[in-house]
Amino acid sequence: MDVSWIPGDSDLLVTVVAGLVVLGGAGAALLGRTRKAPPREAPPREDDAAVAPAAAPAEAPVATEPESAVETPEAVDHRFGRLRGRVGAGLGQSLLAIFRRGSLSQDDWDELEETLLLADVGAAATDELMADLKARLRADPQADPRALLRAALLDVVDPGLDRSLRLGAAGDGALHSAIVVGVNGVGKTTTVGKLARVLVAEDRTVVLGAADTFRAAAADQLETWGTRVGVPVVRSHVDGADPASVAFEAADRARAEQAEVLLVDTAGRLQNKQGLMDELGKIVRVVSKVSPPSEVLLVLDATTGQNGLTQARVFGQVAPLTGIVLTKLDGTAKGGIVLAVQRELGVPVKFVGLGEGADDLAPFDPAGFVDSLLGE
């Protein structure tokens, strides 16, 4: 039961594998002498599906339809302003307090570092920021440390990145698809719903695909979002449907109806579940058959700690991420993890979720974000 002869230079690897096998087989033997091994658990298929009923109402591009049940959402401009004071009240105030003291002592540096750490910026990114700030201060000892930190933070956030949704221009006739991914409980379905509203507000015709066939009532939830702005929602007819097939149906329908944007909601999955990540890969592949996804948005919860980086990395391997939606920023969490993500992977935040209201999804504004970090 040894596996240590796999060819190639995998020897080390193989010894490890061998260890595992021995652990499995020989261990059983050892035990088998004293007692029977218990029956084996069914292999976990984490995503047996749950809810899966039928497709949605007819397409109804909304802005033009003054029907009472269907509403026109608020335009997205200036939503970001709501964020400023809130985040500023946290990190910004303490930074202000530090900088008011004039020259920085070691304690101040420590405090500064701690403040960044408390915002979930992460140890590595914090170290880099601190080093950056120190270098800037050395180069220009007279400068206002606050302005320097702003510049340093802004460098990390990089306002130059394109943060608009790459879904083509309105009315260009082509179908653009976007897939929303993320771990469980970060607010993917809500984000899809809110994004649909944003797009409808921009006069785009949208089709939603409820490829979350696992979580109980997820498709219902998406459907309520869709119905509200008059966007068709494609969902499965049977329990436990293959999410990829739902995604394909949605894409197919979007094409048939000549919709401009297809938004696919996926089930939450932890990035270390290989089977589920494979399933996601399949969703991306089948959607690509109709229209290669021009946006793959990772939804990150602002409370997420350093695991957010792993999430971005692993999801990125399966479905190349084009942007991040940072949700639940209206709580006490600062969402500093996005700095680490962008620094490491170059994936920009495109939208932020600022509350439970239907229009509480705002485009991310780097300068505004940094300013609010600094309490301006």
> Within 67-126, which residues bind other proteins (CB under 8 A)?
71, 114, 117-120, 122-123
- With CB under 8 A as the contact rule, the residue among 105, 184, 258, 288 that binds other proteins is 184
Determine which helix (DSSP H) or strand (DSSP E) holds 209, and give its type and residue range.
strand 206-211
Cβ distance 181 to 296 under 8 Å? Answer: yes
Q: How many angstroms separate the CA atoms of 271 and 307, rounded?
A: 10
Cβ distance 210 to 235 under 8 Å? Answer: yes
Instruction: Return the amino acid letter for 163.
Output: R
Selection from 171, 157, 165 nearest residue 192 by Cα:
165
Q: How many angstroms separate the CA atoms of 100 and 104, rounded?
A: 10
- With CB under 8 A as the contact rule, the residue among 135, 170, 310, 346 that binds other proteins is 310
- With CB under 8 A as the contact rule, the residue among 84, 176, 328, 343 that binds other proteins is 328
Report 205-234 residues binding other proteins (CB under 8 A): 214-217, 220-221, 224-225, 227-228
Identify the three-state secondary structure at position 348: coil
Selection from 194, 195, 327 nearest residue 261 by Cα:
195
Length of the chain: 376
Tell me, by CB under 8 A, how many residues bind other proteins: 91
- Under the binding rule (CB under 8 A), the answer on residue 44 touching other proteins is yes
- Under the binding rule (CB under 8 A), the answer on residue 4 touching other proteins is yes
Cβ distance 280 to 269 under 8 Å? Answer: yes
Residue 309: CB atoms within 10 A of its CB come to: 21
Taking the complex as a whole, how short is the minimal distance between the CB of residue 341 and other proteins, in angstroms? 12
Taking the complex as a whole, how short is the minimal distance between the CB of residue 96 and other proteins, in angstroms? 19
Taking the complex as a whole, how short is the minimal distance between the CB of residue 278 and other proteins, in angstroms? 10
Q: Which stretch binds other proteins (CB under 8 A): 74-82, 173-181, 255-263, 324-332?
A: 324-332
Closer residue to other proteins (CB): 2 or 144: 2
- Under the binding rule (CB under 8 A), the answer on residue 54 touching other proteins is no
Q: Which stretch binds other proteins (CB under 8 A): 154-162, 164-172, 269-277, 364-372?
A: 269-277
Report 154-173 residues binding other proteins (CB under 8 A): none
- Under the binding rule (CB under 8 A), the answer on residue 330 touching other proteins is yes
Question: How far out from the chain centre does Cα 168 lie?
Answer: 21
Taking the complex as a whole, how short is the minimal distance between the CB of residue 169 and other proteins, in angstroms? 28
